[in-house]
Structure 1
Amino acid sequence: MKAVGLIVEYNPFHNGHAYHLQAAKDATKAEIVIAVMSGNFLQRGEPALVSKWQRTRMALLNGVDIVFELPYQFAVQKAETFANGAVSILDATGCDFLCFGSESGDISLFHRTIDYLELEKKAFDEKVKQFVTTGVSYPKALSLAFQQLTDSRMYLDLSKPNNILGIEYIKAIKKLKSSLQPITITRKNADYHDDHFASATIASATSIRKALFTTENDNSLIEQYVPEHTSQLLEEYYHYYSDFHQWENYWGFLQFRLLQSSPYELKEIYEIEEGIENRLIAAAIESQNFKEFMEKIKTKRYTWTRLQRMCTHILTNARKTEMTANTEKATYLRLLGMTQKGKEYLNKRKAHFSLPLVSKLSSFKEKEISLDIKAARIYSFGVPNHLRLEMVKKEFQQPPIYLD
């Protein structure tokens, strides 16, 4: 049974994801689709719109066969660490292919760009440092350095987020000496950060979330952009919890954390550097909501994404010592869900998995999972008080979702 791996967030699952999934199967002729999916908090430093269990259901109902969770330690991270964790999970499960979406769509450009970066590492790193000293963000410095050193027609556009992730996926495969074969398909219609609907059927997850937050769960506005199962599961979640998760739900808790912490204490939190802890505290005193707070702390040097990741780590009290203890590969496989075909694959292959398989949290005592437990407890503060304990208990008691 050949398997193709996807690295996803499904926040929420939409038509672009359905296209990616089908294109991956068509390109590889794989019988099994394995998704490595971020859990409660995502790479851009945001709480997931709905729980990982509801997003797992979306994935399984729309064609994924197995869903593994990408641990917090890798999920809320820069591209390199995010890729290391996700690729190591696919490698551990005996996956044959990794298929990712990119702005390029040409796998040869990825290999050529990586070869160039390895060959000219010293010159490239020097250029990046020069641009960083001008006050631009690190991702912007990468893009500017690459543009200045190369003929852009022969290499990837490193200003595009999915091209950057793709580079890191392939580098992670090389580091692991994995037999995973990388394949890329061109992203269809919508850009990753689009906050408006750009076509008749394909929209970014960002624009879909924006529509849901600004129209009080009027699903009619998004129905043409998501599969029917997604629309139904979103409606079901909203009906039960009376809300979707977004940063404003957590603002009061973040503000409290900031105002009861000293600058010295904040410096222990992952990604808090260069004195920004003082700026964070000052802005927290004066801000009435999360959006206002973010606008006060935003500078040319720090991307919105990086600042949100800092806020997530403050909220979860994720310390530098915890987050940097292991950035190369995952240490367990947290199974969130499977179909009948997925179950058959697991039964045939799990004895050969190179990492322990965790199907129920209450039976797994490893220290590494403590960050996921903290993240789950904090995530529950995004729902009404009387439902929080139920949500946390589910983290420990919920067996993998099985779709027959």
Structure 2
Amino acid sequence: MNAVGLIVEYNPFHNGHLHHLQQSKQLTERDAVVAVMSGHFLQRGEPALLDKWTRTKMALQGGCDLVIELPVAYATSSAEWFAHGSIALLQATGVVDCFCFGTESGQLTPLLQAAKLVSEESPQFKQQLESYLNLGLSYPQAYSSALHQLYDQNSSANNANEEEHFRFDLPNHTLGLHYLIAKERIGSSMTPYTITREKAQYHDELPTDLAIASATAIRKLLLEHSSLDVIKPYIPSSTYHLLVAQQQQGITPMHWENFATPLFHSLVVSSSDNLATYREIEEGLQHRIKYCLRSLPQYTLEQLLLQLKTKRYTRTKLQRALLAILLQHQKQHFQREQLASGIQYIRVLGFTERGQALLKQMKKTATLPIIHSPAAIAKPSTYLELDIAATAAYMLARSPEQPELSLMDYTQSPIRV
């Protein structure tokens, strides 16, 4: 049995995700779906609204058959390493022979061409990237500009004019490109597919359709209103009922301010030199953090991000930097060589009956150990230890009155639906 792979956050699982899942199965003609899902912290440097097991239930009830966790080292990384970890995990299962992602255009050819051009990071591309960075552009802007320049030059050289104005800087195009770059670098045999993102775009902050809204818009509504009815039209009934169950238990959606106390503690007691040892802290950002702390009108994450933000430091970059400090992610564990070889296990978060059949098949096909619980591991790897620590930090902030929940990685079995 072969499956299609999806790379997801499901924060939360909504009707757009359901559409993507169903279309992916139809397009690839696969009966099973394997989802690589971020855990408690996400690619934009934010905490997930809901814990990873609740989101796993949403995924399984929405049509996924097997959910495996993307380690926090990759889940909170830039697009390059987020994609690398995700593609490497799907490839390692041995049961996923294709993957499908959404794009703004639904076009795969220009992304495939661009991925081949930059997968080896030619000296020409690196030089162009550096020149744009020296102009003061943020890294995403500089990367997109250098890619456009290289792509246009190559297209002209080959007398190719189709997709001449293809926008690589759109959010889903950017992620899709990096999935394909990762596929090239890993030498994956999986076949890529894409489908068009419809009715709601990645950054849309307000719903524009009666049934489809972006996760950004849904999160905004969820955090601004106490009633779940405001998001009910945009989520499957299974997601709605899980949210209701959480609300009845007194569990509210998580956001950055839940982590203000431990984060500000780390910021105020750390020296600039100490801050500089954390991942994503570069180009003097540690000094800017210490300077801005002295002028904050109030100690909130939103105020700090507003003070820190510049043309060079995007909000996403800053959130990932602050998250690295919160989770104590030292630079020494995140060198390129370590990230390139850091996928060392397949962590199972949940499965259906069909997913259980996939797991049985994976005993023969998987190229990495399959982990159902860290409790069974005598000596966890560095990245598995980081996952365990991330869960502890998340659950302590969510349920401080129940400190035992910080050990859920050891006590929670995979979800079965």
Equivalent residue, structure 1, for 2:97? 96
For residue 380 of structure 1, report the CA deviation from its aligned partner: 1.5
Name the CA distance, whole Å, in 2 between partners of 1:78 and 1:47.
15
| 1:377 paired residue number | 392
2:218 aligned partner, one-letter code? I
Contact 1:338–1:401, Cα closer than 8 Å, also in 2: yes
Return the offset for 1:173: 1.4
Aligned to 2:225: 215
Distance between the aligned counterparts of 1:3 and 1:120, measured in 2? 31
- Residue 46 of structure 1 contacts residue 309 of structure 1 at CA under 8 Å; is this kept in 2? yes
Shift, 1:124, TM fit: 3.2
Task: State the alpha-carbon separation in 2 of the partners of residues 239 and 286 from structure 1.
Answer: 40
In the alignment, the residues of structure 1 paired with residue 248 and residue 402 of structure 2 have an alpha-carbon distance, to the nearest angstrom, of: 13
Aligned partner letter, 2:169? S
Aligned: 1:299 with 2:307 = no
Q: Deviations over 1:211-239 (max 9, x none)?
A: 011112x1111111110111111222233
Match of 1:57 in 2: 57
Equivalent residues of 1:113, 1:155 under 8 A apart? no
Aligned counterpart for 1:344 among listed residues 337, 352, 357: 357
CA distance in 1, matches of 2:348, 2:34: 11
Judge which range, 128-137 or 256-265, deviates more: 128-137
Per the alignment, residue 139 of structure 1 pairs with: 140
Instruction: Please report the TM-score for the alignment, with normalisation by the length of structure 1.
Output: 0.95
Q: Distance in 2 between matches of 1:93 and 1:199?
A: 37
Give the equivalent residue in structure 1 for 2:157: none
Give the Cα separation in 2 of the matches to 1:333 and 1:341. 18
- Structure 1 residue 280 corresponds to structure 2 residue 281: no
Q: Does residue 173 of structure 2 align to residue 163 of structure 1?
A: yes
Instruction: After TM superposition, give the deviation of residue 119 of structure 1 in Å.
Output: 9.0
Which residue of 406, 409, 412 maps to 1:392? 406
Q: Structure 2: how far apart are the matches of 1:285 and 1:247? A: 20
Structure 1: how far apart are the matches of 2:365 and 2:399? Answer: 43
Q: Which residue of 1 aligns with 2:158?
A: none
Alignment partner of 2:401: what SS? helix
CA distance in 1, matches of 2:374, 2:166: 41
Length, aligned pairs only: 401
Matches of 1:239 and 1:294 in 2, distance apart? 32
| Structure-to-structure mapping, 1:103-142, within 5 angstroms | 103-117=104-118, 121-142=122-143
Pairwise CA distance, 1:50: 0.3
Alpha-carbon distance in structure 1 between the residues aligned to 2:44 and 2:304: 17
Paired amino acid for 2:164: M
Aligned residue identity for 2:414: P
Paired amino acid for 1:5: G
2:110/2:163 contact within 8 Å kept: no
Deviation sequence 1:253-298 (CA, Å, 0-9, x none):
1111100000010111011011110111222343321111100000
Give the distance between the partners of 1:155 and 1:166, measured in 2 at CA.
17
CA-CA distance at 1:155 after TM superposition: 6.2
- Measured at CA, do residues 117 and 384 of structure 1 come closer, stay the same or move farther in structure 2, by a change above 3 Å? closer
Q: Determine the C-alpha separation between the residues in 1 that align with 2:350 and 2:119.
A: 38
Structure-2 residue corresponding to 1:195:
205
* TM-superposed deviation, 1:395: 1.6
Deviation at 1:185, TM superposition (A): 0.7
> What's 1:7 paired with?
7
Cα deviation, 1:168-224, whole Å, max 9, x if unaligned, reads 1112112222211111111112111211112211111111111011112x1111111
Q: 1:230 — aligned with what? A: 239
Q: Percent identity?
A: 39
Task: Tell me the C-alpha RMSD between the 2 structures.
Answer: 1.7
Name the counterpart of 1:317. 328
How far has the Cα of 1:327 moved from its partner? 1.2
Match of residue 37 from structure 1: 37
Distance in 2 between residues matched to 1:10 and 1:255, nearest whole Å: 28
CA contact (8 A) 1:190 1:204 kept: yes
Match of 1:356 in 2: 369
- Using the alignment, how far apart are the partners of 2:316 and 2:162 within structure 1? 25
Q: Residue 187 of structure 1 aligns to which amino acid in structure 2? A: R
